[in-house]
Each structure stands twice: as structure tokens, then as C-alpha cells.
Amino acid sequence: MRRTLGLLICLVATVLLVPACGGSGDKVATVGTSEITVSGDTPTDTFYEKFRALTEQSPYLPWFTSCLEREAKQLMTPAEAKELESAPEAEGLKRLTATFASASEICETNGRHYIDPEASEEELEIVRSSEAVGVGMMLKAQGFPDEMVSCMEDLIGAVPPQELVTLIEGKPSERERLFERLGARCESR
């Protein structure tokens, strides 16, 4: 499984920032199954501003966020970013996902952490819910039964912080063992 899955789900939400109810000027986005609020003072007019507003609320270390922003600008021309703002949602999400999949693969460095070890539970919940949704999407695409998909989403949505970090930053063998353990729990249900 690729490490970037949860990150991609998180980034997909960048195009979905909508004004919050109540007229405060704040904007709300759904990331995975979490809802986050971006201050009305935070610029979100452009694709890159939306991306920055959401990643600043995620538990990623500054070097990783900066790398993602830099690489996205290398991979996507300003004209393409502008085009994404008015593209049909399905097309925009597809192009956004492809761009950020490439950016995150470039930025991920073996042995280098990109989740803040001091992240709050609230910040980790954004990533946890994104991972749960992302894993569900991956399993569905691979033809797993709905019961297995639902079970894995539930289990990943409840993993403790250390397992969450392993799921995202761990070595491939560590991530595989964690998935096997979670999968075995679903099979025994």
C-alpha cells in the first residue's frame, strides 16, 4: 500500500472548501470523515491557497508541507491550477489526485518522518479518518467484499496514534504486518 493514500484523500478536500453556516466567514471542508474549519481570514481563493489552508491544519511537519507545495507547483503549471478551480468536480479531483500523488512520492524520504511527533489528537484524527476512507477506496477498487471494506475502515478509524504513524510512515514490512493483523480481525468476525 502506498503511503500517500491518506494524504491524497486529505488533498482532495482542498477543492471542497465551502462557506460555513452562520456568516462568520469561516470555511468548512470534509477530510476523510473529519470536518475542519478554516478561518475566514485565511486566503482560499486559489488552488494553492486552499491546499496550504488545509495542510496547515494537518499534523505534517513543515518540511513536508513545503516540499508538497513546491513539487505541486513544478508538476502543475499556473494555468493548469487555474483551470482546476473551474473544472467539473470529477475531472478536477482526478487531476488533483494525480498531481499530488506524484508530489508526495517525490517528497517522501525513507527514514525521514513527516508527521509531527507532537501532533494533537485532533490533528491525528484528520489523518486517521483520511486513511480509513483511503483504505476503503483502495480495497473496493481491488474487489474486496463490502463487509471487509467496512470492517477495515472501522478498524483503521480507531487505530491508536502509534499504529497510525506506522500505517503512514512505517517501513513496507511494518505496514504490511499491521494490515495483516487488522485484516485477520475482520476475517474472524
Distance between CA atoms of residues 127 and 18, nearest Å: 20
Q: What is the pLDDT of residues 65-84, one digit of tens each?
A: 899 889 888 888 888 888 87
Answer yes or no: do 127 and 103 share one domain: no
83 located within any domain: yes
C-alpha cell at 151: 470492517
Answer yes or no: do 135 and 172 share one domain: yes
Answer yes or no: do 10 and 102 share one domain: yes
pLDDT tier at 111, thresholds 50, 70, 90:
confident
Domain boundary pick from 78, 107, 136? 107
Answer yes or no: do 21 and 87 share one domain: yes
| 3-state secondary structure (DSSP) of residue 87 | coil
Least Cα distance to 127 among 4, 1, 40, 42 occurs for: 4
- Domain holding 16, by residue range, is 5-107
Backbone φ and ψ for 9, nearest 5 degrees, come out as -65, -40
pLDDT tier at 11, thresholds 50, 70, 90:
very low
Q: Are 138 and 1 within 8 A, CB to CB?
A: yes
Q: Kindly state the DSSP code that residue 60 receives in the 8-state scheme.
A: B
Least Cα distance to 179 among 161, 155, 144, 145 occurs for: 155
Q: What is the pLDDT of residues 32-71, one digit of tens each?
A: 666 667 777 777 777 777 777 777 777 889 998 899 889 8
Amino acid at 99: T
116 located within any domain: no
Answer yes or no: do 82 and 18 share one domain: yes
Number of domains in the chain: 2
Domain boundary pick from 39, 74, 107? 107
Answer yes or no: do 64 and 135 share one domain: no
Least Cα distance to 59 among 161, 171, 157 occurs for: 161
Task: Give the dihedral of Cα atoms 94, 59, 81, 36; nearest 10 deg.
Answer: 80
Answer yes or no: do 83 and 159 share one domain: no
